[in-house]
Amino acid sequence: MATKTRIPAHIAIIMDGNGRWAERQGKQRNAGHRAGVESVRKVMEACGESGVKVLTLFAFSSENWKRPQSEVNLLMDLFLIALKQEIKRINRRNVRLRVIGDVSAFPHKLQQRIMDAEELTAGNDGLLLQIAANYGGRWDIVQATRRLAAEVQAGRLKLADIDEVSMGQAMSFADVVEPDLLIRTGGERRISNFMLWQCAYTEFYFTDVLWPDFHEQEIRAAIKDFAGRERRFGLTGNQLESD
């Protein structure tokens, strides 16, 4: 039911604005993507220090394959490099890394690097850093539906037993609390097919700050804004007061 927690347990972020940040500085788009890696580091550290338990970052959507091939290749290379350069730092900070999405579409070398990074940090019990890569909210719902349909077909589940609980358990990262706060940088006011199921009761926070400029001060401002909101989860304000 309602929670009085003032620090969001789970923050999800749509990291938008890398390309525009680079263009405004007269640089190529890849400069923005590289600068964005630094923001990931700073936000991750600030969230860990603030008491956030889970941080989910939307790094590459299932629709991003439609971008120019040169940019897609760059993003794949950058992901590979970032994992190599950052994983030791992540591990030292007791952060557990998990990549969510259909990683089977990635180059084999990147898939191996992901598995190695997840294995290295598997025993850490600090912040859980989830990177959504080749992920889409609709894809997530479809793959969950297929899992449940297979269970029904195999006779392990009755059709009448499919409900919100069983559906939620079939979704990606079902073992993690749903996001309390969803942040989108870059000025857009939409969630772009990100965590459609999981964000049913999530608080949204939109900012014009481009992702490469989104650092500790900005994430702390978002957390402060969240702390001032009343989350009713379908209840009335009076019901919360009497809870």
Decide if 21 contacts 210 (C-beta within 8 A).
yes
Give how far Cα 169 sits from Cα of 172, 177, 182, Å: 8, 11, 21
Decide if 76 contacts 149 (C-beta within 8 A).
no
DSSP output for 24-78: HTT--HHHHHHHHHHHHHHHHHHHHHHT--EEEEEEEETTGGGS-HHHHHHHHHH
**Residue 124 bears catalytic tag:** no
Distance CA 222, CA 208 (A): 12
Distance CA 115, CA 119 (A): 6
Which position among 16, 134, 140, 180 bears the catalytic label? 16
Which position among 30, 64, 91, 193 bears the catalytic label? 64
> From the CB of residue 217, how many other CB atoms can be counted at a distance below 10 Å?
12
Distance CA 71, CA 19 (A): 10
Question: Are β-strands 54-61 and 96-100 bridged in parallel, bridged antiparallel, or unpaired?
Answer: unpaired
Crossing angle of helices 69-92 and 108-121, rounded to 10°: 20
**Residue 175 bears catalytic tag:** no
Catalytic residue annotation: 16, 64
